């Protein structure tokens, strides 16, 4: 979860470094714990690296066990230093455990659709509002404090910037301010969205 003055955990397709745990936590906010299979699959990929490397050496040592046969010794050396090591190095460079999480999160955090700049909430509700919006596949990408409190709603002091990704929202989806208003109303969060007051 980011504070009002912080940037998104993964604001672009290929920035580095990044925090794996924070990225996974953010993805959970969008998809719930059903996405944890991605972390499990990633752990399996990561565990395969030493297994492949060790397996290559074991297979090579087995083949080269009879030191009286030069051909077997050479074959054992090739196996020990070849397929297992190359495959392990390839997997390490590709880092599929990262891609499983990051690529999925980017489908939510890439803002290539409509944005809403007219949502005002209470600063105390910032975290709750962000979680509710992410469950609705909307991306609260930032916020700013309202410099002058509203005369008729002085408790609303934080303006949200909310975007959405075309990956999850088709071109004929409802206007984003309608989606934001419905989301915050369902979550019973005090807000004003495009002039509409939401009172829990």
Q: Give the global pTM.
A: 0.72
Task: For residue 144, give the H/E element and its range.
Answer: strand 139-145
CB 96 within 8 A of CB 48: no
Comma-separated ranges of CATH 3.30.70 domains in the chain: 111-198
Q: Which fold would CATH assign to domain 111-198?
A: Alpha-Beta Plaits (3.30.70)
Q: How far apart are CA 70 and CA 76, in angstroms?
A: 10
In this predicted structure, the answer to whether residue 183 has a pLDDT above a threshold of 90 is yes
Selection from 121, 113, 159 nearest residue 139 by Cα: 113
Q: How far apart are CA 81 and CA 63, in angstroms?
A: 13
How many angstroms separate the Cα of 21 from the Cα of each of 16, 27, 111, 152?
A: 14, 10, 22, 41
In this predicted structure, the answer to whether residue 179 has a pLDDT above a threshold of 90 is yes
Q: What is the DSSP letter of 16?
A: S
Q: Which residue has the higher pLDDT, 20 or 76?
A: 20
Summarised one tens digit per residue, pLDDT across range 124-172 is 999 999 999 999 999 998 888 888 878 888 899 999 999 999 889 988 8
């Amino acid at each position: 979860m980011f504070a009002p003055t912080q940037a998104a955990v993964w604001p672009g397709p290929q920035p580095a470094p990044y925090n794996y745990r924070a990225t996974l936590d953010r993805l959970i906010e969008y998809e719930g714990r059903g996405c944890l299979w991605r972390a499990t699959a990633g752990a399996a990929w990561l565990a395969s690296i030493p297994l492949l490397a060790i397996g290559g050496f074991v297979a090579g040592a087995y083949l080269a066990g009879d030191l009286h046969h030069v051909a077997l010794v050479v074959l054992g050396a090739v196996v020990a230093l070849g397929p297992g090591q190359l495959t392990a190095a390839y997997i390490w460079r590709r880092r599929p455990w990262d891609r499983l999480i990051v690529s999925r999160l980017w489908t939510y955090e890439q803002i290539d659709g409509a944005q809403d700049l007219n949502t005002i909430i209470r600063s105390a509700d910032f975290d709750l509002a962000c979680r509710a919006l992410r469950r609705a596949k909307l991306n609260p990408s930032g916020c700013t404090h309202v410099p002058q409190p509203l005369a008729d709603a002085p408790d609303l002091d934080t303006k949200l910037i909310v975007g959405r990704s075309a990956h999850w929202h088709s071109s004929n989806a409802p206007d984003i301010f309608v989606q934001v208003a419905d989301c915050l109303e369902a979550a019973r969060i005090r807000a004003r969205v495009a002039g509409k007051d939401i009172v829990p």
